[in-house]
A and B are shown apart, each in its own frame.
Chain A
Amino acid sequence: MLRFLVRRILGALVILLVISAVTFWLFYAIPRDPAMMSCGKNCTPDMLKQVRHNLGIDHPVPVQYWYWLKGIFVGRSYGDFGDCAAPCLGYSFANREPVLGTIMNRLPLTLSLAFGSAVVFVIFGVGAGMIAAVKQGKWQDKLASSGSLVASSLQIYFVGYIAMYFLVAKLGILDNPSYTPLTDNPAEWASGLLLPWLVLALIWTANYTRMSRSQLVETLSEDYVRTARAKGLSRRTVFFRFAWRGAMGPIVTIFGIDLATLIGGAIITESVFSLQGVGRLALKAVDQSDLPMVLGVTLLSAGAIVVFNIIVDAVYALIDPRIRLA
């Protein structure tokens, strides 16, 4: 297990290095000028030169990348703008703050949004899928299948606004979406995020319902499941001990990627509900050509996917005894 983890972590670091280099170069390939964005209306060539110097983009791209990379390990000084302690992912001149600090500031909201909605969509999605599989062909199956088809056709920017209008503005059942740190007030944390959780879950639940249903239907027809039934084990034991575990592999894989994607930033959800998480930070950074922030958020997203992939691989072995880590 340890060998497996070490190998995967080293691989992950290489992937992150490649992603950072590619992002860096791609950013300079597009015809946008971050200095112009910061130089204001009365920008003269001299002022533009000064802004380029202030932003640290007056060096060749490889040199800039080297400085950035070095900053992660030894920190970096940005002259009069201040110092950025290691691990320094750069300094956002748009936000006038070190990148890592800004991301860490936005991350709790995004984590709350991701994990909260994940709990809802996994419980309801997998639950509905299980019922549909067990009650194959019956009304419960038809309801779950058609319901998931409708839900998966919906979009957050549609459901979100409708839900806001009816549940918050018209009926006043739920609070306006907002974020209060969990440690400050757990009740406000939950009530402020309840609507985004539900809307996000409604869309994502459908995938899990459909997937868990089809996986379970397939697994329930496997030879080993039939054998277990033939040996006299109860339906419940066969379902939870053999069929369910066997079907969970692909679902866990997708769940790992979905959760990592949400942690990388649910841009549309955050925009619809006016929440200031990592997703909107990324959107703003792209709009402002804020390369250090774009890099930081890209690495966070990539890092989340890589980490969750490792976790998923490890969890495989726990769920399915047929799989062994090599």
Chain B
Amino acid sequence: MSFSRRNFLIATGVAAASTTVLSACSSDDKGATDKNVPSVGKAKTMNIPVGTKADSTGPAPEVAGAVKGGTLYSLDQFDMDHMDPAQIYVATEGAITRPILRGLTGYKVDDKGGCTLVGDVATDAGTMKNGGKTWSFTIKDGIKWEDGSDLSMDDVRHTFERLFASFVTEGPRYVQQWLVGGDKYKGPYDGKHIDSLEVSGNTITFNLTEPRADFNYTLAMPGYGLVNKKQDTKEKYDKRPFALGPYRIGSRDIGKSLTYVRNDHWDPKTDPIRNAYPDKYVFQFGFELVASTDRYIADKGNDQYAMSIFNEVAPERVAQVMTNATLKKRVLTQVDTVCYYWPINTTRIKDVKIRQAINYAWPHQQIQTINGGPATNEIATTLLSPVTPGYEKFDLYGVDKKPGGDPVKAKALLKEANAIGHKLVIAYQQSDTQVKVAVAIKNALEAAGFQVVNKQVDKSTFYSQIGKLDNGFDLMAAGWSPDWPNGYSVFYPCWDGKNIGDGRSNYAQLNDPSINKAIEAASKIADVEQANKAWGAVDRQIMELAPVVPDYNKIRNWMYGSKVGNVVYDPGNTCVALCKMYAKK
């Protein structure tokens, strides 16, 4: 999932009270905290293979000990910005809508923490032809909307055609870019269809402009959830999407609460992904991190049946929770797929030695501390997170040995480049944490012989400003998380020369022919294992050119009430697996 404003808010919010955390961690609990904090080093790469046709058949595997009935609650800070699948991009919104929305493919979480790509409403995870330029999906029988009407092929076609409508501005844009004729198509509302989507019987075929061996993974994004054509109210659909999953919206009070009740027309035999144990979900919004954590700690009344999608353990409470064995039992800890990093503008800093000097001088440890310490983030040396398939551990700039930076080595490189006193303009988003981070960076880089100018940029215009080609910045705070579990959706949007341009995500403006070639070659590899190896190599190849400083990988800690059963992580949707939980009796 690409890095969004909300991800940033969550990340900076989590880190906002870092000083408190630090003082807590550095007190007499230090030893215990260090022993108990999760570690990126221990995180397992989340390989998600493609399942068979049998895997795509419902019902979802039973969760041992799970019981049906009851109500699950949530204590969360934010309501969703969007519920129209076409507008959904962030993982948390995808997670909340999983119980009501379904797509052609989806991720099936098993009881051992594994995950498989399966057909959701499709009979399997799709059939590829022409080396990945043509993909077909056949729809299962008996799939019904919340009003009892059948899911039709018209609905399926309409779902993908409406992605081209002008009101769709926030969801993923892969399908729009790859469908043949997508550059000219304006959406279905004037009665026209796009020719590259072919419907025959119960099968829909996508004709793409380029080979996409992982297209079935792309379609598992929540942004490609299916939409009922007859109920499509365009912009207004965002407020009240029509359900195809085991639940439907019972009530919604935007910004305050959202209730899901059972969709009586859902047939578990058609659904390999969702268990649907509770009778009802009540999402409650407006809880700051401290408030929700305190309520989980107190564990009273309905809060015993509560969990969070957005809210993690508040930084102020991390030490208290993670060092208390009883409380820690009620925390789901997971290394995230997002990598926070600082792209270096390669059009302004062309000498690789200067870029490498920045990497050597970087104050990783100080930044880790400012961002909440090792319980909430761990130093990164690669662009792929340790949990993303393709991850290969390497450390080209000696971060493991000198996490506080190596100003001597950096200065020596600067001297070689004849660039002592080189001026760097650093852009970062307005926030208390980022101000502290920027000061730490300035101090470290100046100790290595750079001259640093820090520029604080308003958060609402930050990405438009760093996304401009002529932005005047040398270093910029950014981050990225893969949209599906492989390296393509990390490296192509952010490091391929084709993605240099105003509003694009290649902030470093890296246009290296060997990198572009390597990305193209890796994206054509159909064999998952081989492709992952290739993505790992791309990561190293990019880091050798040092167009970026990888900063940290996020560690997420979700707390929940004592009567919520089977709180597990959904590696495909990179969030809590809502459809696997149950309310204990």
Contact = CB atoms under 8 A, between A and B. Distances in A.
Most chain B Cβ neighbours within 10 Å, of A31, A32, A41, A273: A41
B255 interface: yes
A164 B287 CA distance: 14
Interface in B282-296: 285-288, 290-292, 294-295
A42 interface: yes
Interface stretch (B198-206, B330-338, B459-467, B575-583): B459-467
A45 interface: yes
Contacts of A15: none
Contact of B463 (A41, A275, A284): A41
Contacts of A145: none
Nearest to B285: A276
Interface stretch (B2-10, B131-139, B366-374, B547-555): B2-10
Given A40-B4, A96-B238, A168 B167 contact: no
Interface residues on B, range: 35 or more
Interface residues of A, number: 47
B173 A42 contact: yes
A51 B87 CA distance: 13
B416 interface: no
A33 B461 contact: yes
Contacts of B285: 276
Interface in B239-286: 239, 253-256, 285-286
Nearest to B240: A96
A175 to B, nearest CB: 8
Interface in A157-189: 161, 164-165, 168-170, 172, 175-176
Contacts of A33: 460-461, 464
Interface in A19-45: 31-34, 36-45
Nearest to B87: A40
Interface string B282-323: 000111101110110110110100000000000000000000
Contact of B235 (A36, A48, A81): A81
Contacts of B254: 95-97, 102
A193 to B, nearest CB: 15
Contacts, number: 114
Contacts of A161: 290, 294
Given A41-B2, A289-B460, A169 B300 contact: yes
Residue of A31, A37, A48, A274 with most chain B CB atoms under a 10 A cut-off: A274
Chain A interface SS verdict (over half):
helix
Nearest to A270: B286
Interface string A102-135: 1001000000000000000000000000000000
Contacts of B290: 161
Interface string B324-367: 00000000000000000000000000000000000000000000
Interface in A33-88: 33-34, 36-45, 47-48, 50-51, 54, 80-82
Nearest to B176: A42
A51 B295 CA distance: 39
A276 B463 contact: no
Interface of B: 2-5, 75, 81, 89, 166-167, 169-173, 234-236, 238-239, 253-256, 285-288, 290-292, 294-295, 297-298, 300-301, 303, 458, 460-461, 463-464, 467, 502-503, 505
6 contacts: A37-B5, A38-B170, A39-B170, A42-B505, A47-B503, A95-B255
